[in-house]
Amino acid sequence: MSDPRPTASEGPVPQAAPGFAEADLTRDAFLSGAFFLYQPRSGYRSGLDPVLLAASVPARAGDSVLDMGCGAGAAALCLGARVPGVALTGFELQPAYAALARRNAAEAGHHMQVIAGDVAAPPPEIRQMSFHHILANPPYFDPAARIQAADAGRERGLAEAVPLSAWIDLAARRLRPRGYLHVIQRAVRLPDLLAAASGRLGSIEVLPLAARTGRAPEHVIFRARKDGRAPFRLHAPLILHEGPAHLQDCENYTAEITAVLREGKMLPWPG
C-alpha cells in the first residue's frame, strides 16, 4: 500500500520539516503514486489503516473534512486524491508531524490547513469550525499494557493518552448537522466507541475488518452521523486477503481492497 523505499530523487526536495532531519525521512508512494508522503523512518508511519479509513468516507466536492490526529496527512490526502475539491483540515498533536502534513499536502497540490493542538483541549481555530465529515485514526493501545516504543513520535501515535470519549466529544461538537464521523480502531475498543457516541451521535454502523475468511476481525470502521436516527447496523466482516493463509511473499489482497490501495477507489458500505 505504501512503498517503503525512499524516492526523494523524484522531483524537488523541500527543506526538512521542523523536528526531522532530511536523512531521517522517507518519501513513500500512496495510491500507486497519486501522491507521496514524507514520513519518519523510525517514527510513526502510516500504513493500511488511513487508506481504508479515507476510502470509507462518502465525501463530495465542496465538502469540508477534518482529519483528527492527521499525522503526516495520509488519510486526508487519500481522500483528497479520490474526491477533488474537498476542503481539507488536519489537526495534529505533534508539531513536527503537523509540519510534515503541510509539506505533503503542498507537494500533492492540496490547500490543506493543518492546525497543531490537543484533542482534549482544542485551540480556538478548531472550536470555531464545523465540518461535513470528520475522520480519525486514534492511538490504539493502552500505554500501561504494552512495551513503550523507543521513538517518542511513534509512541504518541500508538499509545492512547487521550480517551476515545474525548475524540468522540470533539467530533460531535464540530460536525455539521447530518455530518458523518468515521473512525478506524481495534475491534476490542468498539464498546468504548459505542458508549462515547451514545446520546451524541446516531445512525451508527460498524464494518469489521478481518484479515482472512474465518478469522475474527481485529479492527473496525465505525461510522456515526450527527442527528442520525437510523437503527444500529453491524455489517458482515470485510475480508482483506485472499485465501486461508499467507503462503507466499506477496500482499495477496482481495480485488476490492487492491482497488482501494492501488486505484484510490471508494470502499462502499453494504446496502
Rounded to whole angstroms, the Cα distance separating 35 from 11 reads 12
- Judged by average pLDDT, the poorest of 19-23, 92-96, 145-149, 238-242 is 145-149
The domain that contains 246 carries what CATH number? 3.40.50.150
Give 200-229 pLDDT, tens digit per residue. Answer: 999 999 999 999 999 999 999 999 999 999
First-to-last CA distance in the chain?
A: 27
Beta-carbon contacts of 112 under 8 Å, excluding residues fewer than 6 positions away, are: 73, 76, 77, 80, 88, 89, 90, 101, 102, 105
Which residues have C-beta within 8 Å of that of residue 147, sequence separation ≥ 6?
none
Among 38, 132, 50, smallest CA distance to 88 is for: 132
The predicted model scores a pTM of 0.86
pLDDT at 147: 44
Dihedral pair phi/psi, residue 256, rounded to 5°: -65, -45
Position 16 in a domain: no
Q: Where are the alpha helices (DSSP H) in the chain?
A: 48-55, 74-82, 95-108, 124-127, 152-158, 164-174, 190-197, 255-263
C-alpha cell of 76? 486526508
Task: Give a yes or no: residue 12 inside a domain.
Answer: no
Would you say residue 17 lies in a domain? Answer: no
Range of the domain at 107: 46-263
Contact 135, 63 (CB under 8 A): no
- Cell 507466499 sits at which residue? 248
Q: How many domains does the chain have?
A: 1
**Is pLDDT at 4 greater than 50 in this prediction?**
no
pLDDT value at 154 more than 70: no
Among the listed residues 64, 68, 111, 76, the one whose alpha carbon sits nearest the alpha carbon of residue 92: 68
**Helix extents (H) in 19-68:** 48-55
Q: Using CA atoms, how far apart are residues 50 and 77, in angstroms rounded to an integer? A: 10
Instruction: Write down the mean pLDDT value for the chain.
Output: 87
Q: Are 239 and 210 in contact (CB under 8 A)?
A: yes
- 225 is a domain residue: yes
Cell 482544542 identifies what position? Answer: 122
Confidence of residue 141 (pLDDT cuts 50, 70, 90): low
SS3 85: coil
pLDDT at 19: 75
Answer whether residue 24 is part of any domain: no
Question: Would residue 216 count as lying in a domain?
Answer: yes
Q: Is residue 2 situated within a structural domain?
A: no
Q: Is residue 40 part of a domain?
A: no
CA-nearest of 173, 194, 43, 174 to 183 is: 194
**Is 25:36 a contact under the CB 8 Å cutoff?**
no
